[in-house]
Amino acid sequence: MNRILKLHKKFNAYPFGQIFFSKFVARMAPYFTTINPIIEEIRSGYIEVSMKKRRRVENHIKTVHAIAMCNLCEFAGGIVTEATIPKHKRWIPIGMEVAYLKKAKTNLTAICDIGNVDWDNIDVLPCFVSVRDTANVEVVTATISMKISDKKVKNK
């Protein structure tokens, strides 16, 4: 089991474990803490993560700012990749294509399902993310391209 999934299992054994786990994971790249993401569900190849619409993430027209939604998408794609990738591989985002479909006027939920990946035969992993509002209306879609490579072997 991947280290992220092990941590999830460990945190979830305690009250408020989901919230503490989400905050812990978001601090891996501190910029993610600006949207205060909450991981609602995570398993190998799948993540569902939410964020609240609050003043801190709003734009001038009182909807969720485009970059906050991009941050949510990158968080979802990155964490599901990290939770799924084998120990001998590494990843880094190399591109992101985003479509803003509707104004985001409510709390949001992002879902990324990368399915079963053949890690030994992939150079770039496309992570498709769908972001929906509380009425289940899709407001943003994003495809984040993750460069996949072998970890460098450390000389002893």
Task: Tell me what pLDDT residue 1 has.
Answer: 62
Q: Are the CB atoms for 37 and 75 separated by under 8 Å?
A: yes
How far apart CA 24 and CA 20 sit, in angstroms, is 6
When pLDDT is averaged across residues 23-39 and rounded to a whole number, the result is: 90
Q: What are the residue ranges spanned by the domains of the chain?
A: 3-150
Assigned superfamily of 3-150: Hotdog Thioesterase (3.10.129.10)
pTM of the model: 0.92
Q: How far is CA 73 from CA 1, 80, 113, 154, in A?
A: 24, 11, 12, 32
Least Cα distance to 97 among 121, 73, 124 occurs for: 73
Least Cα distance to 39 among 49, 30, 31, 26 occurs for: 49
DSSP, residue by residue, the chain? --HHHHHHHHHTTSTTHHHHHHHHHHTTSGGGGGT--EEEEEETTEEEEEE---GGGB-TTSSB-HHHHHHHHHHHHHHHHHHHS-TTEEEEEEEEEEEE-S---S-EEEEEE--S--GGG-SEEEEEEEEE-TT--EEEEEEEEEEEEEPPPPP-
pLDDT digits (tens, 9 = 90+) for 87-103: 999 999 999 999 999 99
pLDDT at 20 over 90: no
When pLDDT is averaged across residues 103-128 and rounded to a whole number, the result is: 96
Question: For a pLDDT cut of 90, what percent of the chain falls above it?
Answer: 75
